[in-house]
Amino acid sequence: MDILGQYLDERDDQRRDQAEADERWMCERAGIDPAERLLAWDRWLVSTLQKALQWPADPVRRSKLVRQCAAEITGLAKQLRGRGWLLDGDALAKHVRGMLAPLAAAQRAGKIDDFWPYFRAAVGRYVGAHAEEIQAHARRTGADDGAQSFGAVLAGLGITAEARQRRPSLTELLADRAGEVAQVKRASLRDRTARARAREAACNAAAGQAEMPL
């Protein structure tokens, strides 16, 4: 009996089941808890990147680059929120796939010499290049910030049939998380800078005392 083979098959089955579950979650917009939604998105995004693009053979470099690219894609959510287009799971996933498709084609054709700058540029220009399409979809599905703000006002007045609080879109959750991470990094940088200045001042003070005549 091939125990190792059986174990590997079972592990692959588990990964496939998890990927299918995450895909269903993306399509059905389930996962009410924000933390649960973000974790499911992270798993889906890493899996999608791994399947769509070619990566370094070294597992450490591959894992680092995949997660670096996943973090960069958060820039899409920040751009979308900045324009007031609050896309949720399936709609956001569609645009991630749309952004990755030409990248994958360019890789297969051997047209990418330096992957990371190419990838960052593709992410950076995607929203602007597809603005009309994204805006039309957001307005059609009620994912436009203006429409949602107006709907919230009506709900507050009791004019709408469902006056319940709107659940944050995945775009908002991702943009908020990116902002929190950036804030922590800025605070950490300020702390390190303050400590460095304090050390420098202490060293200067000690040097000044050493130079004072007795």
Number of H-type helices and E-type strands within the chain: 8, 0
CA distance 17 to 32: 21
Instruction: Print burial letters for 23-32: b (CB count within 10 Å at least 16), e (below 16).
Output: bebbeeeebe
Instruction: Tell me what pLDDT residue 89 has.
Output: 81
Instruction: Give residue for tokens 């590997």.
Output: 8
Instruction: Tell me what pLDDT residue 198 has.
Output: 75
Instruction: Tell me what pLDDT residue 58 has.
Output: 94
Query: Which structure tokens are listed for 55?
Result: 């990566």
pTM value? 0.64
CA distance 24 to 164: 25
What is the number of other CB atoms lying within 10 angstroms of the CB of residue 160?
A: 13
Query: Which structure tokens are listed for 14?
Result: 């588990």
What is the number of other CB atoms lying within 10 angstroms of the CB of residue 22?
A: 21
Please write the tens of the pLDDT for every residue from 140-182: 877 776 544 434 434 444 444 443 455 788 888 888 887 775 5
Measured distance between the N- and C-terminal CA atoms of the chain, rounded to whole angstroms: 87
Tens digits of pLDDT across the chain (214 residues): 567 666 666 776 666 666 665 555 454 444 468 888 888 899 999 999 999 999 999 999 999 999 999 999 988 888 888 888 888 888 889 999 999 999 999 999 999 999 999 999 999 999 999 999 888 888 887 777 654 443 443 444 444 444 345 578 888 888 888 777 556 655 655 666 767 677 777 776 666 665 555 5
Residue type, 174: L
Instruction: Tell me what pLDDT residue 54 has.
Output: 95
Helices 89-108, 3-28: crossing angle, 10 deg rounding: 120
Instruction: Tell me what pLDDT residue 5 has.
Output: 66
Give the total residue count for the chain: 214
What is the number of other CB atoms lying within 10 angstroms of the CB of residue 71?
A: 13
Instruction: Tell me what pLDDT residue 48 has.
Output: 95
